[in-house]
A and B are shown apart, each in its own frame.
Chain A
């Protein structure tokens, strides 16, 4: 009886460890979103009513443009269209393979401090490997030629 109870508890613990994903993950409070975007919704209506108008042509004192950036978040817009890491390649690998260029790519694309740190770590590993290669090639192999020569 005790063995059966223990086995049942163990099975329950095992199943709880692999909890199913919940639809709550994708639940959103539409009212909260509408409130948050009230100003931008009004600005959108204003722009639609004044076809062809640009931000520059709107009076800066108009409350609809308060706190509105004067340029688009281009990289943010493009990031909506694809997956998480740039081209699906981890930030660390960007830094490892492309050194400082990879760090810059992640910095501008991901626009995230943590991702940029990972790219920087990859870049540091790249530099370290390069130094080791120099040591091996120049010091060890180079000296071995002297020995056999």
Chain B
């Protein structure tokens, strides 16, 4: 191969690599998550609750779908701040919920932004960083105009992984804390295997344990489950 041919070959090769680069980045795009869940709750009045099933979230459909198998078989579809409860393929309840699927821990996990609980992209600003042993604790404050209405959030991380989140009132009273344990890993996405939540209410403490298993990322089959149709009322 003469010098001129070698130069042409290098040029074409470099051009091909540059053109292929977007394909490599697309391979890192996580858009879909599925996991089996169990949620156990103990309320301050002594009552308990057990909910089991599977949860699916798709960023393109912007739907959060729960296929509940216990205590009863039903489906919940949350999209655009609307909660739909479907039993035997019939819509039995629909209500407004001030929640977007795109602002949940499922979205944070798919964006690999779970370590700061999505706060970096919120109206909260980082105010303080403390270290206690191998744990890093960051304090986040709400926008100044809202500081009389909502309190700070403290996030703890160990080895770059989210360990806990604590929510406070403007008077610095602890209202809720969540502790994340035992991370599952699938296709480059990490998700907590267990979330322990403790709510501090006037009537007493309430505890909830959410466990997840069989994490699946970007699975291409079962599209209809991710885009679960909501029947007309």
Given contacts A44-B40, A67-B46, A84-B150, contact A72 B105 (CB under 8 A): no
Contacts of B52 in A (CB 8 A): 44, 47
Residues of A within 8 A of B110 (CB): none
Return the CB mask of A12-42 against B: 1 if under 8 Å, else 0. 0000000011111110100001001101110
Q: How many A-B residue pairs have CB under 8 A?
A: 159
Known: A37-B42, A55-B72. Contact between A80 and B83, CB under 8 A? no
- Which of A1-9, A105-113, A126-134 contacts the other chain? A105-113
Q: Is the CB of A54 within 8 A of B72?
A: yes
Number of B residues, CB within 8 Å of A:
70
B178 and A80 within 8 A (CB): yes
Tell whether B175 is near chain A: CB-to-CB under 8 Å: yes
> In the complex, which residues of chain A have a beta carbon less than 8 angstroms from the beta carbon of B156?
23, 25-26
Partner of B49, one of A20, A28, A69, A113: A69
Inter-chain contacts of B46 with A (CB < 8 A): 67
Q: Given A72-B71, A80-B208, A84-B167, does the pair A89, B98 have CB atoms closer than 8 Å?
A: yes
Q: DSSP majority for the A interface?
A: helix
Which of B48, B72, B104: most chain A CB closer than 10 A? B48
**CB within 8 A of A114: which of B42, B78, B202?**
B202
> How distant is the Cα of A69 from the Cα of B69 in the complex, in angstroms?
15
Q: Given that A23-B137, A40-B40, A70-B71 are known contacts, is A83 also in contact with B196, CB under 8 Å in the complex? A: no
- Residue interface bits A34-74, CB-to-B below 8 A is 1, else 0: 00110111011001000011111000000000011111111
Residue A92 at the chain B interface, CB threshold 8 Å? yes
User: Interface on chain B toward A: helix, strand, loop, or mixed SS?
Assistant: strand
B96 at the A interface (CB under 8 A): yes
Tell me the residues in window 1-54 of chain B with beta carbons closer than 8 Å to chain A beta carbons: 38-43, 46-52
Kindly state whether residue B176 has any CB partner on chain A within 8 Å.
Answer: yes
Partner of A76, one of B41, B73, B175: B41
Instruction: From the candidates B38, B175, B195, name the one contacting A84 in the complex (CB within 8 A).
Output: B175
B150 touches A72 (CB 8 A): no
**Shortest beta-carbon contacts, A-B, top 5:** A90-B149, A55-B71, A86-B98, A26-B164, A81-B104
Which residue numbers of B lie inside 8 Å of A, CB to CB? 38-43, 46-52, 68-73, 76, 78, 83, 85, 95-100, 103-106, 117, 122-123, 128, 130-133, 135, 137, 139, 142, 146, 149-151, 153-154, 156, 163-164, 166-167, 175-179, 195-197, 201-202, 207-210
| Residues in A lying within 8 Å of B, measured CB to CB | 20-26, 28, 33, 36-37, 39-41, 43-44, 47, 52-56, 67-78, 80-94, 105, 108-109, 112-114, 118
